Structure 1
Amino acid sequence: MISTFVLRHRRRLGTALVTTAFLVTLSGCSESGPKREYATPRSLCGTAVDAKDLTEFLPAGKKVSTTSATEGSRASRCTVAVDGKRVVYTAQQWWNDMSVLEFARGMTLEKVDQQTDDGRFAYSVNQAFGKTEGCRGNRHEGQVLYTAIQATHSDHEDAAAMKKLITSYTEAVERSGACR
């Protein structure tokens, strides 16, 4: 014969197990936070970009948009916004030949603390700058085409990812019509 004490504890234990199982199931179905409901762009205003590299710097949201602007034949810019908030900004600009660090200083007030060994790229955790090779056209006699990506409104900060993004972006610019 089982005592009343044992029966009461078995019922409580059973109820606790059922409740725990229910809560675990329920938590598995709930949202784990905001989600990215848009497709990451495969180009930034016409310049190809690896969507996987760009995705790291884009937040969750419903809609992504890109807006381009040009300043004559000398500069073009692209703004990437998520739900209307500017997150990533890119630029391609023709300038007299200078180091990529000098170009970066003209584009940002923030410290750009890392540079590649060949001196073509300078970067930090949320912005990067590049110097193209072989982009010297007749319209821009004696000038060099520089690139910039600034994700200063992104929550993601990763110097290695930013270096990878500026390298692939600059290489895409070198293959594009902007280089000629």
Structure 2
Amino acid sequence: MAAVLAIGAVAGFSSHEPKRNFATPTALCDTPIEGKLLDPVLPRSGETISMRAAGVIGWDRCLVSVDDEEVMSASFEWFEKGTKPVKVAKSQRNLVLVERVSDDGRYAWGDRGAVSHVTCPNPKVSSRKGTYELLASVYVVDAAKEEAMKKLVLGFAGAVSKSEECSG
């Protein structure tokens, strides 16, 4: 009887848990970011990860795919001064961030995305200074932990503030 149970345990409960076969990136397209910020929001399984940059003047976007399926995007875009992160988030389907807004109103987050103001005192395009504000956004297809989304958007906003976009 014990032998039957042992065989049943091996045969019936062998775990084929999906495995992640790609390395966690250390950049979102051309924007460096700590891998530890990306790791919790990426799928737990998959063979390959790829990124594709898109954008126009004043708006950059990085689309991240695992096994050719889009899993997240990160972007930064210039908005009129006074634009709130919650307003930017409303442009994304299925994303509501009104309940989780920082005390100072600089960022908002949820389990599928987050938006943050970017400190950019020296914009590449000098006419934006004082008239426009740069906001960074991250969105994921599958829900992630809210705290991970908050950390990711703050890390991404910090990285964008050090990028060419803000080194006028």
TM-score normalized by structure 1? Answer: 0.79
Is the CA contact (8 Å cut-off) linking 1:61 and 1:83 kept in structure 2? Answer: yes
Alignment RMSD (CA, Å): 2.1
Aligned to 2:67: 83
Task: Give structure 1 stretches of 5+ with no counterpart.
Answer: 1-15
Match of 2:133 in 1: 144
Encode CA deviations 1:122-166: one digit per residue, 9 max, x unaligned.
Answer: 111110001012344251332211100010x12x33211111111
**Residue in structure 2 matched with residue 43 of structure 1 by the alignment:** 27
Q: Match for 2:3 among 18, 21, 32?
A: 18
Q: Cα offset for 1:69?
A: 1.0
- Superposed counterparts of 1:53-132, under 5 Å: 53-59=37-43, 60-72=45-57, 74-97=58-81, 98-108=83-93, 110-113=95-98, 114-132=100-118
Q: Offset of 1:104 from its aligned partner?
A: 2.5
Q: 1:173 aligns with which of 137, 160, 163?
A: 160
Higher helix proportion: 1
How many residues of Structure 1 are paired with residues of Structure 2 in the alignment?
A: 161
In structure 2, the gaps of 5 or more residues are none
CA gap 1:41/1:117 in 2 versus in 1, 3 angstroms: same
CA radius of gyration, larger in: 1
Per the normalisation by structure 2, the TM-score is 0.84
Letter in 2 for 1:179: C
**d(CA) in 2 for partners of 1:39, 1:31:** 22
